[in-house]
Amino acid sequence: MIMSRTLLVVFGMLFCTAAQAEVDKHARNLAASCSACHGTDGNSEGGMPVLAGLDKALFVNQMKDFKSGARPATVMHQHAKGYTDEEYELLADFFSAQKRH
């Protein structure tokens, strides 16, 4: 019993790692479309805000404020409406993990 429980935990960990990697790739792919304005991996070369290394909660809140109109914008209110709350989280995970240049 103890043995199988240990195995379960090990399998569980393996599964989580694999699932996590998949989630990261989808987040990476989602974020890739942002780089036209915000630079590769969120490292903007000027003008648009740098997203690389941005605090997760701040990123998510900004997106929500763009969507609601609480933060006025020229473009971002439109993009924010195109993504779901879950996608905000994925994007926040990805960008917060990127190194600022």
Partner 1 sequence: MSFSRRDFLKASAAGIVIGAFPGLAFASSELIKKKGQRVVVVGGGFGGATAAKYIRKWSNNKIEVVLIERNPMFISCPMSNTVLGGGRTIDDLTMSYDELKKKYGIKLVKGEVTAIDPEKQTVMLANGHLKYDRLIVSPGVDFMYDKVEGLNESVANISITHAWKAGAQTVLLRKQLEAMPDGGVFAISIPKGPYRCPPGPYERACQVAHYFKQNKPKSKVLILDANPDIVSKKGLFMAAWNELYPGMVEYRPNALVSKVDVASKTAKTEFDDVKADVLNVLPPMKAGAVADMAGLANVDGRWCGVDFLTYESKVHKGIHVIGDAVSAALPKSGHMATSQAKVCAAAVIELMQGKQPDQNPTIANTCYSMVSGNEAVHVANVYRFNVEKQAMVAAEGGGVSAKRSELEGAFAGYWLKNILNDVLL
Q: Smaller CB distance to partner 1: residue 34 or 54?
A: 34
Residue 50 touches partner 1, criterion: CB under 8 A: no
- What distance in Å separates the CA atoms of residue 64 and residue 32, rounded to the nearest whole number? 20
Query: Which residue, chain included where needed, has tokens 């969120």?
Result: 42
Whole-number Å distance between alpha carbons of 91 and 74? 20
Is residue 37 a contact partner of residue 44, using CB atoms and an 8 Å limit? yes
Options 7, 8, 11, 33; binder of partner 1; rule CB under 8 A: 33
Least Å distance between CB 14 and partner 1? 16
Interacting residue with partner 1 among 12, 20, 45, 70 (CB under 8 A)? 45
